[in-house]
Amino acid sequence: MGANRSAYRLSRLAAFVAAIALICATQARAEATLVIEADTGKVLQAENATYPWYPASVTKVMTAYVALSAVKQGRFTLDSLLTVSPAAAAQAPSKMGFKPGTQVTLDNALKMLMVKSANDIAVVIAEGVGGSIDGFANEMNRTAQRLGMTQSHFVNPNGLPAEGHVSSARDLGILGRAFFKDLPEYEYFAHLPGIKFGKRTTMNFNKLIGRYPGADGMKTGFICASGFNLLASATRNGKRLIAVVLGAQSSAQRAVKAAQLLERGFNGNKLTWLRPSMGTVDQLAPIDASPPDLRDQMCGPKRKRPAAEDEDDDVEIATGPTENSDGNPSMYAAGLQPQTIKTTELFAGAAALEPPVIVYTGPTRTGSAIAAADAAETEAQTPKGKKGKKSQVAAVKPDAKPEKKKDAKPDAKKDAKPEAKSDSKTASKPAAKPEPKQLGNSAKPVSGDLKPAAAKPKDGAKDAAKSSKPAAEKKSDAPPKS
């Protein structure tokens, strides 16, 4: 009897231990991190770095790498025009939203890809460079094989959910190294501060840019299944490090985590001599497993609000990792790790960013032609109804103020309903002489300014003096319309 009880208790204990081990393993796989030296590939820290993972929009680093390699090979130029197809226009947001048939240079497309993370532009590049999405995906996979990205397989150029579209922190670290090593002349695409397309301005989703000292890349990513991903890089004193964070809980937390990893990498660690070298990134042994699916965690009903790549969740930073938390106690002993950058310091103020880069559709432009294209797009994005209302307000206000006391009501009656009829008859004769002098701007503002003068032919010099003031104000409003 006693023996049976002991066996039962042992079996229960074993089941409990197994359950705890399973929970710990699941929690451990909820996030993957990696820090390497860009020049040597030496691994400074790795946590679940060889587990397969959904790369999401970090995929676009490979898209940019393949496209820029084609430019370097002479197959295309940055001025090459690409056309938006119906398939590209049908992609899910985030996207630029161009209509089929719109043309954009490869240069502008890459800027939109890396900053806006535009899924439609990724397909535009894929179809333009690879002939089709499938053709470009094959080129991406051949490139991955050549680089030693043994855990990666790409199905599309933007990272939207697709069966078999996977990578790992290890492979993304290898890709980051290759980008800087093979395409140094194009590395500015990895750290653009933002883009401006007409009235629409998008700043880089990578919160390290302009905040973390030396941050110079590379790309963020998010889908529900992957969590918040970041392939980051920073350079100090001529030394560049690359950090990968996969599966973070928010865009702010992935930035904080990457900053802490980079900071420890730059400052070194007092316990490095206690652990064996992990070798180089390509020597990390891949793990044969299925990618973790974080859909319920990221987009399930328990989350306060739906997660999104472009979410502005700085308010959640206080609930994120503590300033000395690294999530890997086995790597660092408490109190002996170097001082890490503080979360509160990283996001204390606004990012110190350069002005956004102007992007546009159509062929390459230079100098003042870029500003002209930007002004034209801004005008095109302004609703016509709003333009009309602004011009009417500008025309009415100057006339309304001088005549508040006695003439306010009579003038309102004269200038409201009869105005449409009297403009053709009454205003045509008095306005005939002044009109040629005002043609320097546009006919419409001039005729509008002369209406008050035409409505009061009796007042003579006094009304002429009053009508001259609105005309002067109208002149100043005319150039922006043209």
Asked if pLDDT for residue 395 goes beyond 70, the answer is no
Give the model's pLDDT for residue 302. 77
Enter the DSSP assignment of 272: G
Helix, strand, coil percentages for the chain (3-state, nearest 5): 50, 15, 40
Catalytic residue (choose from 69, 94, 117, 167): 117
CA-based R_g, the chain, Å = 31
**Catalytic-labelled residue, pool 60, 111, 257, 451:** 60
Using a pLDDT cut of 90, give the percent of the chain over it.
59
Query: How would residue 188 be classed by pLDDT, with cut points 50, 70 and 90?
Result: very high
Domain spanning 24-378: which CATH class is it, in words?
alpha beta
Mark whether 6 is an active-site residue.
no
Query: Is 57 among the catalytic positions?
Result: yes
List, in sequence order, every residue forming a beta bridge with 358; answer none if it has no partner: 196
Note the residue count of the chain: 482
Percent of the chain residues topping a pLDDT of 70: 63
Tens digit of each residue's pLDDT (9 = 90 or more) over 266-301: 987 555 555 567 899 999 999 999 999 999 999 988
Question: How far is the C-alpha of 95 from the C-alpha of 35, rounded, in Å?
Answer: 31
469 is catalytic: no
pTM over 0.75: no
Q: Is 312 a residue whose pLDDT tops 50? A: no
**Active-site annotation holder among 57, 69, 85, 94:** 57
What per-residue confidence (pLDDT) applies to 258?
96
Q: State the pLDDT at residue 276.
A: 66
Say what the pLDDT of residue 18 is: 43
CA atoms within 13 A on the CB side of 271: 13
Return the exposure string of 355-389: e unless at least 16 CB atoms fall within 10 Å of the residue's CB, then b: ebbbbbbeebbeeeeeeebbeebeeeeeeeeeeee
β partners of residue 20:
none
Domain ranges of the chain: 24-378, 386-481
